[in-house]
Amino acid sequence: MHSTNRLSGGVLLGLLLAGSLLPYALAQEDVIGCGGFVRLSGDFANDEKPDLSPIRVKLYTLGGVFKSETECAPNGYYYLPIYEKGRYNVRLEGPPGWMFDSAEQEVSTEDDGPCMQGKDIDFKVVGFALAGQVRTEGSESGPAGVHLKLQSKSGGTFSTETGEGGVFTFKDAPHGTYTLTAHHQRYKFRRNSVEVVTSFGQSDVKETFDVIGYDVKGAVRWTQGAAASEVPVLLKPQGGSERPRDLLCKVSDTAREQGAWCSAVSGKDGSYVFEHVPLGLYHISVDKKDSQSSRFEFDRDSVSVAVEHSPVIVDEPLSLKQFVIGGKVLDFKGNGVAKATVSINGSPVAETDQSGSYSIKTSVGSYSITVSKENMLFDELKGYELSPQLRRIGSIQASKYSLCGKVNMEPGSPVQGHKVSIRSSKGGRQESLLTDSKGEFCVMLAPEEYVLSVFAGTGIIMTPSEKKVALADGPVLNAEFRQAALHVQGSIDCLESSCGDNIKITLIKDGQNVKSETLNGKSKFSFANIPAGPYTVTVEKKDWCWKSQSISVKVGTEDSSSLKFVQAGFLTNVEVPRSLPVKLVHQSGTKYDLNLQTGQTTLCIPRSGTFTIESDKCVRLSEKTFTAPSAKVLKFAVEEVSTDLMVEAKPRSDMQISFELQVQRSSGKKVETVKAEPKGNAYVATIWTKPGQVVDITPKVEGENLMFEPRSEVVKPSFENRCSSEKIRFTTKVGRMLKGKIEPPLSNVIVRVVEEVRGGGAQEHEIARAVTGDDGQYSIGPVWDEKKYTVIATKEGYNFKLESNGVFRSVRMGEVKVKVVDTRGSQLAGVMLSLTGENEYRQNNRTGDDGTFYFVGLLPGNYFLRPMLKEYQFKPASQSVKVQEGENPIVQVQGERVAFSALGTVRLLDGMHEKNAVVKAEAMDDSQGYEETVSDEEGNFRLRGLRPGVEYKISIKNGEGMRHERCSPSHVVIKMEKKDVSGLDFIAFRRPAKLDLMGVVPGAEDSHLKQIVIELALASNPNAPIKSSPLLAGRYFEFASLARDSYVVRAVSQLDSRAYKVSSPPVTVDLDDSTGLVELSFRADPRNSGEGVKATSFYVLVLIVAGIVLATNRKELTSMYNRGSSAK
């Protein structure tokens, strides 16, 4: 019996009634199987093979729903029948302590999945757990992070570390005898090594490793945070107990007298360490009785610590205060500078004495120390760390001196604004400054030698032109200058008698064109009234090249008239695909050698006229002539390149053969034959190919029983400025014949000769095959004499073993008949039978309509049989079967049905079949039973494994992430009997693929509506809008058909930002199961007025409420509309 939650509505009821009248036929579904082996790691290769049947293999959906389980055969083979296509997880559950390389694998039963392709889903036992503990002495717990090493007598090692409480586990150690060692860089153990014995399964280490104690580390610092070194520190127990005799930390005699257990002195970084301190509570304090401590004033002189199961870092440092320190101020040469003012962080604190020394009182910290004195500049000690460990402050040395002078001009000439250039004699750095109203200048420079010059204006020459000064001895305050115009001329030398027109000569200074002249029919040029200074003269004419296109000239006190520009040739642009050596032959017969570079090159051709190109003998070019000069780019393509082939292919030195090469180019199917001529111990031939073309070379010899290895060679000729040469080597020998026979004689046996593919793993390449006659003999060949081959004999129903000299011994294989019946003795069809045997033999098949199946082609040996069928239990559940040669055992198995199925259909509201709907059955008792399935192409589903006497709630799985959001009826409750239940029909409602987002902007004024645009962006990329919308009537906006995601919505103003101050914060919206509603804030205040935002109109509020109601009830309104349409 079953009950349903009824759905009202005429249309829906009609659909349900129509569905119940559809014929429903239950056919025996195809079973999809996944199987494989649980294998042992290579570490167990030499061990006796254990029984792996305690391992259970379980099948789950990706959502974690249990589907079925089986146990491994003793040899580790398992097989899981699966009744529905999909993706599943296969999980292993082994006995405690068993470790697998991976206890879970995802599998697919789709057409392209490994199960449908018959691939094994293998697992591996990699070891067994070995557990133990490291403890703190005097405690039942211990530290984490201790390194444990397990080493066998054969040299194999395993390692791990302790976890919380000091517990450790070795997860991958095979059974045997080991030495177990504990190690930690900072810990000491009472005992750190024991001998342990592991076995097949988990083992425990009986002995423990005891840690004697832990390091306690702290620091002594100044109040400003700097490290304080060489400070004596004591560790005392709280309560004042006597120091244990076996304590490992160091203690001085004075510290021991004060009741301390340990003592230490802070290092350069201010840190101290008490080593191997036992568990307990302690005080750490400064040893004030030590003479070193009397120098300091303390801010904090003690702290308390607790030592547990790990090293201790003391958070609170011991703290110290002030000290006195001195330093010295020096000039550039290292002499003391007197009466210099020393400042700390900008405040004067001292003045140097005659030797340049000073002293200050300060505390530890980082300071800025500066020194000042007239006409001198000193480097700042910035961020200078002061501490008592610093004996003296580093010397502060003068870094710059004043360099001052004056520029004197002729009476009536201005003295202000003249440029003074200063450059270092060493080169590189250069300074410049302008004179003041008195003609004076002054600058701070590093103490070295400088060269000064003055520029007082165009045409004005100063004397001296340069002046050297040395600042190494101190400031220079008296560098003086006083005031002290020319032609640039030259000519043009052309290749031809007339230079022609449009030759441009340009005079340049400091990158700027000063003057220019265009020569038409002339060969000389001249520039007059040129001020003194350095210049560059350049020449330019279209399509001409020059030996030098620019000449540098320095105008001083005399004319420059010896400039000459010489034409070198005519410019021509050439493009080639790769570098080539060529000869250019002029129409007059003159030849020029050139190396053309890859790509486009501009050549300077020494003559005008027509040229012929002669290329290298290895290359054929597309173009042969050109005319210079040329306005266009001359493109020369390489049509073909030649390759000389040298082929080594002689079986013996005394054998002469007629040798040909079959050449097949990659650009076509045509095969050419090239005659190879003998040359020494090889054969040679020449082929022409297009650049980059691949050529397949196959040797061919007529009339000889020769074999070539390889059968062909691929050649890709190259061309790098020289002729290409390729050397090909073929191994050539007379082949041999492979002969043998089958005993006793057997006809129609297929005998194959194979060799292993190099680098191909287990792949094999078949060389040849033959079929035996009535005498059982075979002959195959020719094959390579020196190669190793495998000869394989096959015939259905027989097994062959190669004995010697090509003789195979044949054995006729047996068969096992399995018959499965139910409790009434009737044949049981569709039962999955899994048979496994030695050498990883396995076969999985289903019984036929007569309840039987024959396993054929079985070698003599022991086999393991397991029957499987969903909803059935079998007696026996598994059994061993022994097959002997000449015997065909019969096995009978009885199956009892212990669970049943619930069947039905899933349709959509329009009556269409709905596939891929997830249907679930939940037990309503305390067993928490659960089954799940998926509807097929016709909407049919079958929930298997439902137990009689149990009530189940049947429904379509819906909600977050599911295909459907609800169904009708919402569920069906059934009570299973000892028979299948059918007629469970559902109407499913799919989750909408797209959702709408609606909203309002209530704060927008009427006059602003046309200047507001609503932008929509993904929350993952909020600054990249994907949609935009203007405001509709009533300040309403809508974005339709959006995917489920998080979005950012903002109102963007196009109002003038100079006139309005706009506030419109964005809003983030998550679209999930229903239409989104959002209200955006918008405020635009005039910048010249304090007037607030006008109140929202009443009708806007009405539209907001209407929009919310519409969005919230959209589904119900749509349903009402559909019912109204149907009624019409």
Measured in Å, how far apart are the chain's first and last C-alpha atoms? 39
- Give Cβ neighbours of residue 900 (< 8 Å, ≥ 6 apart): 871, 946, 948, 976, 977, 978, 979, 980, 981
Residue-level pLDDT at 1092: 40
Q: Residue 869's CB: how many other CB atoms inside 10 A? A: 20
Residue-level pLDDT at 1126: 42
Buried b (16+ CB within 10 A) or exposed e, 928-959: ebebbbbbbeebbbbbbbbbeebebebbbbbe
Query: What is the DSSP secondary-structure string of 403-441?
Result: EEEEEE--TTS--TT-EEEEEETTSS-EEEEE--TTSEE
CA–CA–CA angle 686, 692, 698 (5° rounding): 45
Residue-level pLDDT at 558: 64
- Higher pLDDT among residues 33 and 746, named by residue: 746
Residue with tokens 């390759």: 643
Indicate the pairing of strand 560-576 with strand 634-635. parallel
Residue-level pLDDT at 22: 29
Question: pTM of this prediction?
Answer: 0.42
Q: For residue range 749-773, what is the model confidence (pLDDT) as tens digits? A: 999 998 876 655 556 788 888 999 9
Helices and strands in the chain, H and E counts: 4, 97
- Of the pLDDT bands very low, low, confident and very high (cuts 50, 70, 90), residue 1095 is very low
Residue-level pLDDT at 986: 94
Residue-level pLDDT at 653: 55
Tell me if residue 1089 falls in helix, strand or coil: coil
**Segment 285-292 mean pLDDT:** 78
- DSSP-derived letter for residue 201 is B
The answer to whether residues 42 and 81 touch, using CB atoms and an 8 Å cutoff, is no
Q: For residue range 221-250, what is the model confidence (pLDDT) as tens digits? A: 888 777 888 889 999 998 878 888 888 889
Percent of the chain with pLDDT over 70: 86
Question: Which H helix or E strand runs over 1125?
Answer: helix 1114-1127
- DSSP-derived letter for residue 760 is S
1080: left (phi over 0), alpha (psi -120 to 50) or beta: beta
Buried b (16+ CB within 10 A) or exposed e, 16-34: beebeeeeeeeeeeebbbb
Closest CA to 748 of 794, 797, 813, 799: 794
- Of the pLDDT bands very low, low, confident and very high (cuts 50, 70, 90), residue 291 is low
Q: For residue range 1070-1089, what is the model confidence (pLDDT) as tens digits? A: 877 566 788 988 888 887 64
Distances (CA, A) of 267 to 222, 230, 262, 781: 14, 6, 16, 85
- DSSP-derived letter for residue 41 is P
**Segment 581-603 mean pLDDT:** 82
Q: Is the pLDDT of residue 1117 over 60?
A: no
Residue-level pLDDT at 230: 83
Residue type, 696: D
Tell me if residue 28 falls in helix, strand or coil: coil
Buried b (16+ CB within 10 A) or exposed e, 1002-1028: bbbeeebeebbbbbbbeeeeeeebeee
The answer to whether residues 956 and 921 touch, using CB atoms and an 8 Å cutoff, is no
Q: Is the pLDDT of residue 9 over 80?
A: no
Residue-level pLDDT at 719: 62
Question: Comparing 145-154, 270-279, 896-905, 957-966, which segment has the lowest mean pLDDT?
Answer: 957-966
Q: For residue range 537-577, what is the model confidence (pLDDT) as tens digits? A: 999 988 889 988 898 888 765 667 788 899 888 888 888 87
- Give Cβ neighbours of residue 973 (< 8 Å, ≥ 6 apart): 2, 3, 4, 924, 951, 952, 953, 954
d(CA 553, CA 533): 9
Residue-level pLDDT at 1099: 44
Tell me if residue 1011 falls in helix, strand or coil: helix
**Segment 675-685 mean pLDDT:** 76
Closest CA to 813 of 832, 792, 794: 794
Residue-level pLDDT at 994: 81
Q: Is the pLDDT of residue 428 over 80?
A: no
Question: Which H helix or E strand runs over 638?
Answer: strand 638-648
- Give the CA count within 13 Å in the CB-facing half-sphere of 1022: 11
User: Would you mind telling me the total number of residues written for the chain in this entry?
Assistant: 1128
SS3 content of the chain, % helix, strand, coil (to 5): 5, 55, 40
Average pLDDT of the chain? 81
Residue-level pLDDT at 265: 92
Q: Is the pLDDT of residue 294 over 60?
A: no
Tell me if residue 1096 falls in helix, strand or coil: coil
- Give Cβ neighbours of residue 440 (< 8 Å, ≥ 6 apart): 404, 405, 406, 407
Residue type, 1019: A
Indicate the pairing of strand 900-907 with strand 981-990. parallel
- Give Cβ neighbours of residue 853 (< 8 Å, ≥ 6 apart): 817, 818, 833, 845, 846, 847
d(CA 192, CA 190): 7
Which segment, 371-380, 387-396, 726-735, is predicted with the most confidence on average? 371-380
Burial zone of 1067 (CB within 10 Å; 0-12 exposed, 13-18 middle, 19+ buried)? middle
Residue-level pLDDT at 939: 93
Q: Is the pLDDT of residue 254 over 70?
A: yes
d(CA 108, CA 661): 51
Closest CA to 519 of 547, 498, 545: 498
Closest CA to 485 of 438, 528, 534: 528
Q: For residue range 366-376, what is the model confidence (pLDDT) as tens digits? A: 889 999 988 89
Q: For residue range 861-919, what is the model confidence (pLDDT) as tens digits? A: 888 999 998 889 999 888 889 888 767 899 999 999 999 999 999 999 888 999 889 99
Residue-level pLDDT at 170: 84
Query: What is the DSSP secondary-structure string of 877-915?
Result: SSEEEEE-TT---EEEEEEEE--EEEEEEEE-TTS-B--
